[in-house]
Structures are given as C-alpha cells and as structure tokens.
Structure 1
Amino acid sequence: MNEAELTYGLINYSDLIEPGLTFKGREVNLAGKRCDLFFVDKDGKDLYVEVKKHVDPNGGGQLMFYSGLVSDSSARFMLVAFSIMDMLFMGCTEPVMNIEIKEEDIYYRFFSSKIKEGAQKIISETSRS
C-alpha cells in the first residue's frame, strides 16, 4: 500500500485515526504549503493530518512547521503513518500528535464493506424474485 492509498483509506475510515471525525478536505492550503487531510473532531476542533508511508525526522519537522502556520490555538496536528521512527516525538506535547496505522486495518475495512455491499445486493435481488 502506498501513501495515496493510505490517504484514501483514512478519508473513508477516519475512525482509524480517532472516533467522531468529520472530513473537511484534502491538500488544504496553509500559507502556501499543503497539509494532506483536514478534519473537525467530535469537540469541533480542527485537526490537520499529514500522511506518510514511513516517518523520519523530516516528516516530524514538516508537521511542526504546519502548526506554526495556523492561527487557531485550539487546532490539532497529527502525523499518521505505517511506521514512525522511534523517539521521533519524544518531548512533544499537544497540539502535535502521531499515530501508526496497520495496513491490514485499512484492507480489512475496505474488503469487509465490499463484502457487505455484495451481500446486500444478493439479498435485494433474492427478495425481488
């Protein structure tokens, strides 16, 4: 799975990041820079998400830079990846957070929803006969 597929998966299964998110946009302009995803959390706070396949110190610096471009002091910033370098965020506190996602979680959600769609189609067709 590549970064684009991870991004698509997070848009469709945002609860993998945290429950209660509402998707608002992708490639959001922050003073000429682009943050991958933009959500509003269950408390109404903006959440900016940078998506990476694997995170090294450059990815962490990019997210911290973004946090300086947003004037809303209640906004949150999150780095989501398949793997994040150990101790990268040691000493960092809110609003910068990180989360690792397992590829199989996204595959499971995608395929289980497709199976449910297929089952509903079969049930619908059977009930019409």
Structure 2
Amino acid sequence: MAKNRLNDHAGPSQRQLRVGELIRRTLSDVLGRGDIHDPELNRMSVTVGEVRVSPDLKIATAYVLPLGGKGADLLIDLLARNKSELRRAVSKQLTLKFAPDLRFRLDETFDRLDDTRRLFSQDNVRRDLDD
C-alpha cells in the first residue's frame, strides 16, 4: 500500500512512455499519409509532439500543432470529429487489451520556449546570469 502512494507522485512508468511513443508515431504516420476519410483533415499538416498515457493506459492525450501554427482550433475540432477512426487506426498497430480513448490538446511547448528565450534575453536577467 505504501509503495502505491509513493508511485503516485513519480513520473510516468516505462510502459506509459513506450505506449505513448508508439501512439505518437502511429498518429503521425496516419495523419501524414492521409489515411483518414476527412478531406479537411487530410489537407492539414499536423505535428504530433507528444502523447501522454494515463497509468491504466485507457486514456491517451495527444499534443498536436498544425504546421505554421495557424488553424489550431480547427485542427482540434477536426481531430475530435475523426477520433473514432484515429482510435481504430491506433488499435490496429498496438497490441493492448483496450484501445485507449484519444484526446487532443494544443501543443504549447514552442510558445513556452519562445517565452523562455524572451526572458533570458532581458537585460536584468542576462546581468544576473553573468554574475
């Protein structure tokens, strides 16, 4: 019992990381090839940056971004609309007992990187780092 409480605050397990990466690759391949029967979605270039999987492997949250960053809200709507077809494509590639429920979120990693670079370029921060 105590071991379980300790693991609640730990990062994702190796299995979660492995399954998340397999889902990320599969989604990237499917979206890149245009295997989905939605012409609107097939016209968009999508970057799947990361997939985080719940501990029970039943929920997978994919962090996506359209090429160029334009049309992000439309992309999330299109992916949600085609979620069942994407889930079916993922389940064909994985050998899990259950196909995970897919959720799509906007990947804000690049925005945070830009904010960090901007902060480091400020004079007072550079002065503190140089000391």
Q: Specify the TM-score bucket, using the shorter chain as the normaliser.
A: 0.3 to 0.5
TM-score under structure 2 length normalisation: 0.37
The structure, 1 or 2, with the larger RCO (C-alpha pairs under 8 Å, 6+ apart) is 2
TM-score normalised by length of structure 1: 0.37
The structure having more radius of gyration, on CA atoms, is 2
Considering fraction of residues, name the structure with more helix.
2
